Amino acid sequence: MDFSLDDEQQALVASFADLLSKRSSPAHVRQAEPTGFEPALWRALGEVGVVEMAVPAERGGWGAGPIDLALVAEQVGASAAPAPVIEAQVAARLLASLDDPAASAALDAMLGGEQLETKAVRPVVDGVAELVPAGAVADAAVVLDGDRLRLVSLAASGARCPVANLAAAPLADVTVGDAAPLASGPAALVAFEAALDDWLLLTGAALVGLAGRAHRTTCEYARERRTWNAPIGSYQGVAHPLADDATAVDGARLLVHEAAWELGRHGRRGRELAAMAFAFASETARKATYDAVHFHGGVGFTLEADPQLYYRRARGWPRVWGAPQDAYGRAARARYHTSEAS
């Protein structure tokens, strides 16, 4: 299959890359820490329709497919953008899939720019959804409580507890309370799992962007930094790991695109491939950002240097849901139609 980008997709990538290069430079990312949220950037992304693009046309959006969303997510990751693009898009797609008046009202509020909704990627345990992406800054969160999807308002006192983290992500533990259900039974479980597939795919795409940016930064440094009168990149101990990282980034991107294509056509391997893409992109980002810190030498781990921005996020973003081995387990269960318990 051919995953080459058409003219419209190339224009989409270029437009978001341009916007983010101006509004989400490393300096902007630092200024947004530790909350991991820059309201001005989020408003700018809203003006270009970052939420609308994720919503089907029949529900008032632009009807972009998973591959287009993955292309945007890669640019978000490449800039380490302090904006909840993935969380908002996944929540919007989830709300659009539900036949419920409250869900429709929440979606309309999102499309109108009045509300920021997010989705918990972990089911509720003892009344709390832990590590909700963008939970510290969103107005509401969709959570799975048993076999019910609930829309929890985060405006009430005590509804959320922000979680400090080295990835500078706006995470929060969310207390469900008596929030009314949007869906229940098998329909709720199906909708939650489909939204989780979207989140895994798009987070994997963001990690590809993150790894690619860290790798490019390191290659530039390896060409400029000299020791024994030669660029450090000319030595095998540096050149070979960087070559391995380049290959892994390309492979992770290809796997993300294949998963997006399969999800877009509702193929039977969509869940399996989305989990695999997330797992491999997580491993790739971890290795590429480690090498970025390592090959920058003594300055690489300092807060003044850029590599640590990517290093911390490469470890923090995936663990909001789980480790690569958890995703490989999900892929195996989807492949062989087994339950989590087995």
> What are 86-95's pLDDT values in tens digits?
999 999 999 9
Minimal CA–CA distance to 313: which of 117, 129, 81? 81
Q: Give the C-alpha separation, 189 to 149, whole Å.
A: 8
Residue 8, in any domain of the structure: no
Q: Which residues constitute the domain of residue 307?
A: 188-336
* Amino acid sitting at position 160: R
DSSP structure class, residue 175: E
> Read out DSSP for 187-239?
HHHHHHHHHHHHHHHHHHHHHHHHHHHHHHHHHHHHHH-EETTEEGGGSHHHH
Query: Is 79 a residue whose pLDDT tops 70?
Result: yes
Say if 282 falls within a structural domain.
yes
Q: What is the pLDDT of residues 237-252, one digit of tens each?
A: 999 999 999 999 999 9
Would residue 95 count as lying in a domain? no
Domain-embedded: residue 124: no
Number of domains the chain is built from: 1
CATH of the domain at 310: 1.20.140.10
pLDDT, one tens digit per residue, over 259-301 is 999 999 999 999 999 999 999 999 999 999 999 999 998 788 8
Is residue 134 within 8 A of residue 88, CB to CB? The reply is yes
Residue 98 lies in a domain: no
Overall size of the chain counted in residues: 342
Reported pTM? 0.96
**81, part of any domain:** no
